[in-house]
Amino acid sequence: MRFNHLSVGILTAAASSLPLSAQARSLGPFVSLTSAFVGKHNNDAGTSTSITEAATALTEDIPSGGDSGPLSQAADLSAADAPLISDIEMLSNMLAEVVKRENPTVYDLYTRFRKHGMDRAANPDDFKSFEEMKKLAHDVSPVDNLGVMKTFSIALNLVNAAEVHHRMRLVRMAETGASHLIGPLPNVEDSVRGTMEVLLDQENVDPDKIFDKLTTQKCEIVLTAHPTEVNRKTMLLKYRKISELLAHLERSDLHPFERAEALNNLRAIIAAIWGSDEIRRVKPTVQKEAAGGNAVIESVLWDAVPSYLRKLDAQCRVTLGKKLPVDCAPIKFASWIGGDRDGNPNCTPEVTLEVVTHQRLRAAKMFLHDVSIVQMISVC
C-alpha cells in the first residue's frame, strides 16, 4: 500500500526537524561558560561591572529560546551547548537501541530518514537529501509508517527533556563563574530578582515601594481541563524523570555504580515510553480530568510554590532588606475543572459537588502528611 502526499510530508518534516545536524555535532572543544562570562564582563582593571549590567549580560549569554526556537536547533550553538548535544546523542542512541531490538525494520527506516534529515540540515540548499527522503517515504507501509513517526516523536520529546535540563545548567554555570551574581533567585533580567535590580539601579525606585508592590500583588493561576490535551500524565512524568536523571549524572561525586544505575534507569524509561501508547484513546470523565489537575498540584505545585516563596523571601532580605510577611501569599490557585457551565452535559451540580469534595479530601490528606513530618522531626 502506498501512502498519500500527507504521510510523505509528515515523515520528511519529522526527519528534517532533528537537531543532530552536522553543524551541531561539529562543535569545537568544550569551553565552560564560566570563563567566557567572567572574561567578557570584567573590565581592564579587573573589576566587575554593575549588577544591572551583569544581569543584562547574563541574559544575553543564556539563550531564552523565544523567537529563536529550541536551543538544539539554534543557528549558532556555542561551546557551552556541547553538553546539550552530548545528552541528545546519548538519549537518541538509547532510543535507537530499543527500536533496533524491538523492530529492526522500523529501526532501519528511522536511521535512513535520520541520515537524510541530518544531511539536509547540514546543507539546506542541497535538495538531493530531501528528494531521497520523499522517495523513501513514498513506499513505507502503514504499520512501518506508524512506527517511524512514533520513533521521531519520542526522539523530539527526548530533545525537549534534555533542553529543560540544559537551560538550568547554563544558569547555574554562569552564576557559579561570577560569584557576585549568586543569589536565591536566578540573576536574569526577566526574573523577579532581575526586575528588582533594574528598578533599583537604573530607575532609582525606592526599595520600600518595590516591597509594597511585591507583597500586595496577587497572581491567581486557574487550572482547567483541555479536551485537546491527549498526552497521558504518566508519559509526562517519564520525560520529567529523564531531565532529573540527566541532572543526577552531572554530579561530580557520583560513584561508578550510581552512574551505571542511572544510565540503566534512563534506558528503562525510554524502553517503557517506546512500548506505551503516548496518547489517550478514550475521552476522560470530568472526575478523571479533576484527578489530573490534582496530580499537577500534588506532584509539582505543592512543593514548588513554597520552595519559590522561600527563595523570594531570601531574595527580599538580600536586595530589599526586608523579609516577606508570614501571611504573604502572592500566588493562589483555582480550578474550573468540574465547575464550568459552558454546555458540557456531563458537568452537573452533582458532579461539581463530587469533584470539590474530592479536592478538599486530597488537600486535607496532604496537609496531614506535612504535619506528620513536622511531628516526626519534633519527636526525634
What sign does the CA torsion over 129, 135, 138, 144 have?
Answer: negative
pLDDT of residue 68: 41
Domain count, the chain: 2
Q: Are 24 and 85 within 8 A, CB to CB?
A: yes
Q: How confident is the model at residue 51 (pLDDT cuts 50, 70, 90)?
A: very low
Please tell me whether residues 144 and 223 are part of one structural domain.
Answer: no
- Among 14-23, 74-83, 296-305, top mean pLDDT goes to 296-305
- Report the chain's mean pLDDT, rounded to a whole number: 77
Using only C-alpha atoms, what is the Rg of the chain? 25
Query: Among the listed ranges 139-143, 179-183, 225-229, which one has the minimum average pLDDT value?
Result: 225-229
Task: Kindly report whether the global pTM for this prediction surpasses the value 0.85.
Answer: no
Inform me whether the pLDDT recorded for 165 exceeds 70.
yes
pLDDT of residue 37: 26
Q: How confident is the model at residue 97 (pLDDT cuts 50, 70, 90)?
A: very high
Per-residue pLDDT, averaged over 233-261, amounts to 90
Please tell me whether residues 217 and 131 are part of one structural domain.
Answer: no
Per-residue pLDDT, averaged over 292-316, amounts to 87
Please tell me whether residues 114 and 194 are part of one structural domain.
Answer: yes
Please tell me whether residues 49 and 190 are part of one structural domain.
Answer: yes
pLDDT of residue 81: 83
* 98 Cβ contact partners less than 8 Å away, ≥ 6 residues apart: 267, 270, 271, 274
Inform me whether the pLDDT recorded for 23 exceeds 60.
no
What sign does the CA torsion over 75, 76, 79, 80 have?
Answer: negative
pLDDT of residue 27: 32
Taking every pair of C-alpha atoms in the chain, what is the biggest distance, in angstroms? 72
pLDDT of residue 193: 86
Position 257 in a domain: no
Stronger pLDDT, 124 or 11, i.e. the higher one: 124
Stronger pLDDT, 155 or 280, i.e. the higher one: 155
Residue with cell 560569584: 179
Inform me whether the pLDDT recorded for 44 exceeds 50.
no
- Among 103-107, 129-133, 232-236, top mean pLDDT goes to 103-107
Q: How confident is the model at residue 273 (pLDDT cuts 50, 70, 90)?
A: very high
pLDDT of residue 223: 83
* C-alpha distances in Å from residue 183, one per residue of 305, 325, 365: 18, 20, 34
Position 244 in a domain: no
Please tell me whether residues 219 and 131 are part of one structural domain.
Answer: no
Residue 118, sorted as left (phi over 0), alpha (psi -120 to 50) or beta, turns out to be alpha
pLDDT of residue 17: 55
Please tell me whether residues 47 and 134 are part of one structural domain.
Answer: yes
Residue 355, sorted as left (phi over 0), alpha (psi -120 to 50) or beta, turns out to be alpha
Inform me whether the pLDDT recorded for 39 exceeds 70.
no
Instruction: State how far the Cα of 283 lies from the Cα of 207, in Å rounded to an integer.
Output: 51
Please tell me whether residues 30 and 144 are part of one structural domain.
Answer: yes
Please tell me whether residues 198 and 226 are part of one structural domain.
Answer: no
Query: Among the listed ranges 111-125, 176-190, 246-260, which one has the minimum average pLDDT value?
Result: 176-190
Q: Are 261 and 136 within 8 A, CB to CB?
A: no
First CA to last CA across the chain, in angstroms?
70
Per-residue pLDDT, averaged over 341-351, amounts to 84
Inform me whether the pLDDT recorded for 376 exceeds 90.
no
Please tell me whether residues 57 and 104 are part of one structural domain.
Answer: yes
Please tell me whether residues 294 and 353 are part of one structural domain.
Answer: yes
- Tens of pLDDT along 196-214? 888 888 888 999 999 998 8
Stronger pLDDT, 172 or 347, i.e. the higher one: 347
Q: Report H helices in the chain.
A: 5-16, 22-25, 33-40, 51-61, 82-102, 104-122, 128-138, 142-177, 192-201, 207-216, 233-249, 256-274, 286-296, 302-319, 349-379
Q: How confident is the model at residue 248 (pLDDT cuts 50, 70, 90)?
A: very high
- Tens of pLDDT along 53-71? 433 443 344 333 333 455 5
Position 242 in a domain: no
Q: Which domain holds residue 93?
A: 1-205
Position 265 in a domain: no
Q: Distance of alpha carbon 270 from its chain centroid, rounded?
A: 17
pLDDT of residue 230: 55
Report residue 126 as a C-alpha cell.
542541497
The burial of 100, by beta-carbon neighbours within 10 Å (0-12 exposed, 13-18 middle, 19 or more buried), is given as middle
* 241 Cβ contact partners less than 8 Å away, ≥ 6 residues apart: 269
Ramachandran angles phi, psi of 62, nearest 5°: -105, 110
Inform me whether the pLDDT recorded for 313 exceeds 50.
yes
* C-alpha distances in Å from residue 193, one per residue of 64, 116, 177, 183, 303: 16, 45, 18, 9, 21
Please tell me whether residues 338 and 225 are part of one structural domain.
Answer: yes
Q: How confident is the model at residue 229 (pLDDT cuts 50, 70, 90)?
A: low
DSSP 54-105: HHHHHHHHS---TTT--GGG-SS--GGGHHHHHHHHHHHHHHHHHHHHH-HH
